[in-house]
Amino acid sequence: MTDAFPTSAVLDGGLATQLEAMGHDLSSSLWSASVLRIDPAAITAAHRSFFDAGAQVATTATYQLTPDSLSRAGMPRADFAPLLTLAVAAARQARDEHGSGWVVGSVGPYGASRADGSEYTGAYDLPRGEEGQAILRAHHRERLVALIEAGVDALAVETLPTARELEAVVAELNSMGATTPTWFSFTPAPGGRTTRTGEPLADLAALAAAHPATLAVGVNCCPPEDVATALTELDPAAYELTGVAYPNSGETWDAVARQWRGEAQWDEGGVSDWRRAGATLIGGCCRVFPDQIARLPH
């Protein structure tokens, strides 16, 4: 049993990129979930490396794990439930070995299951209106239910590129009567003022707050330089929420070549600006490693 999930904590960094640094091949469309299938102990070790660096949270290896992503990778959809159970168990084991902390269930966006980079564009090619929303809700439903039933301490609905997906997940959680603390984080367009599909970030905190268990709103997998602007636009305190911030290194994902390009811009010195903009849940995303988490103000 763990304490209630906190409103202020040091988050982990990029699980998939830490696995790559440990020598694992993540070229599969399943990313960290591919390692989960063959070596769950490696997932535990990666989580543990972040705990040892000072993180207080392990975010599960379920970002791209859905029945649809398994099917696209040529694997049985029936493997979803046991793999998700393994993911939560791996994070919980690392937490227990460390002696403290929380396990947060990662809920990646619809585009993540397609492994085509569309989580960074919102170009989902879905029908408009209720038909498209029904597809998004059905896509997220099974993973949300499974993570909640597995007893995660919180949910991270992350890397959302568009307001319509936020609305779909909020509607689904509300229909379930979910009470697990939840944060919603967006990958904003360059500059940090809109979603990838052009909606003002200033409109999103109100949408997120329509779910009673929402704890925080914020950003992830964006350049560090955009974090403070994005949080200021979101203004979580206006909705009695806190802010969450876990940017990537500043490099850019090339979905065709399946590699990161550009130069890292990570600078822990910007954290004070993130805090002033409302962030109290702070960590890193892709290409942010344990040594960088260790340098975050604790």
Q: How far apart are CA 291 and CA 293, in angstroms?
A: 6
Helices 40-52 and 80-98: crossing angle in degrees, nearest 10, is 40
Query: CB–CB of 172/141 below 8 Å?
Result: yes
Closest CA to 45 of 54, 34, 58: 58
Structure tokens at 282: 């702070």
The answer on whether 222 is annotated among ligand-binding residues is no
Q: How far apart are CA 145 and CA 80, in angstroms?
A: 12
The answer on whether 286 is annotated among ligand-binding residues is yes
Binding residues: 221, 285-286
Binding residues for Zn(2+): 221, 285-286
